[in-house]
Every structure is written in structure tokens, then in C-alpha cells.
Amino acid sequence: MNNNINVRPIHYACVSGGKDSLYMFYYILNNIEKYPLDMVVHYELEIDYPFIKNVIEKIKKICDKLSIKFISIKPRKSFNELYEKYGYPTRVARWCNGHYKMDCARQINEIIKSWGCRPLAYIGFCANEKKRFKYIIGDWINNDCCYPLAEENITEDKILEWAKQQPIFNNYYNFFNRCGCMGCPCATYKEFAYLFQYYPKEYKNIIDKIEETEKRFKFQYFKKPIGEMKKKFETKSLTISLF
């Protein structure tokens, strides 16, 4: 969507803390004349994996060192507040996106507009993610977003190989290609197994919430009863395909 091009743009890198956004952040810093950077923005979610928090800490330190503005935005309603109201999000009732995560996007747009500027977000979509593009590659200057990785023809495979070598991701990309939130309703069973092995406290908290939601709304969250699922998550090896 084209913005009012007479209004000054604020170029900001949107960093989730996953592999693509970290790679994009480094890429932008090394190509600052092509991709001017006014600030870096992170949506701070309680359901981020702990390793994501470490990545964001690292990005923030670099921003501080280079005097780049860093903004962390929290949803106006906490995950727990929304959980109390709606129960744990399911595949069909994914309130975690619209009511929770995207509230951060609404806030950053409001902030930039209150400055009398227009937002231009750098987003870490790769060259092979054409289905997600909302502008024609090469034509981003007057748009409200830009995909630097796609602009540079950098593919997800290349970044994945790089991510596997980065200890900060805590092995996550040795098992998975992409990273959503912890306990995402769209997570695979293998992601629950990773959660159990690497972050048992967070795993227990999520499973407790799912069990509580099942009781409260009288339904079954997974295809099989939660007791059976827990056994699978907790006993299977991560290196073997679970299902």
C-alpha cells in the first residue's frame, strides 16, 4: 500500500529475534546507505522463547553502541489477562495474533503518525517467500514496508545454514526452519518436545494452561487426550521425526 510520499518516512527494522530478522538487522547495518535506519522495533511478547530474549538483548546492545533508537513495545493487554478471558489460544481461535501480537503493530504505527511521519518497516521476508509480499520487489521507496533480504535475493536456506551455527539460538534451528511463539497453537508436536527438553518450566506452564482451558470450555485441545500427548512430548527423541 502506498503512503503519502510527501510525509517523511521513519525507516525501522522490525526484529522478532528469529533468524531472518537477526540476519536482516546485520545486513542493514552493513548496507546503511541503501537501507537508512531510524530505529529498531521489537514486539515484546511474554510467549517469546527465552533464547529470543537473548537475541533481542544482543540487538539492543548493538543499537545502544551505534546510537540507534531501539523501541520495545508490549501489547496493551498481557497474555495472562487475555488468557483469563478467552482461555489458551487454539488453531481456530488464535486471539494471540489479532488481540495480542498485532496490538504492538497498531501502537508503533500510532506512535510514528503522532510524530507527523509515515512508517516504513523493514521486514525479514526472504526471496523465496513471494506469497507473503505485498509490493513488487524493487519498488519499496514509497511503500510502507521493505523486505531487504528479498531485495538482495537472499533465501531462507542460506540463513538457516547460518542460524544453525549461532549458539544464541540454543539449537532451535537444528530442528526447525522457522520460529513462532512458545506453545503456539500451530506448533508441531516436535516443537512441544523441544520446549519440554530445553525449557521445562515454560513447557509446564503452557500445558497447565491448556489443561485448564480444556476443563473450563469442555473440549479436547489436541486430537488425542492431553495425558497421552504429554507422554509423547516428554519421551520422544528430538532427532527422530515424532509423527
Q: Please, which residue, 47 or 137, has the CB nearer to ligand SF4?
A: 47
Binding pattern for the stretch 47-76 against ligand SF4, x by CB under 6 A and - elsewhere:
x-----------------------------
Does position 180 interact with ligand SF4 (CB under 6 A)? The reply is: yes
Shortest spacing between CB 202 and ligand SF4, in angstroms: 13
Shortest spacing between CB 97 and ligand SF4, in angstroms: 4
- DSSP-assigned states of every residue in 170-200: TTHHHH-S----TT-TT--HHHHHHHHHH-H
Per-residue CA distances from 134 to 9, 37, 195, 239 (Å): 18, 21, 33, 36
Mark the segment that binds ligand SF4 (CB under 6 A) among 20-28, 108-116, 178-186, 195-203. 178-186
Output the CA torsion 218→224→228→233 (10° steps). Answer: -110
Reference 145, options 180, 109, 181; nearest CA is: 109
- Among residues 72, 78, 80, 97, which is the contact residue for ligand SF4, using CB under 6 A? 97
Shortest spacing between CB 63 and ligand SF4, in angstroms: 24
Checking phi first, is residue 25 left (phi over 0); if not, alpha (psi -120 to 50) or beta?
alpha
Residues 8-47 binding ligand SF4 (CB under 6 A) are: 47
What are the residues binding ligand SF4 (CB under 6 A)?
47, 89, 94, 96-97, 101, 180-181, 184-186
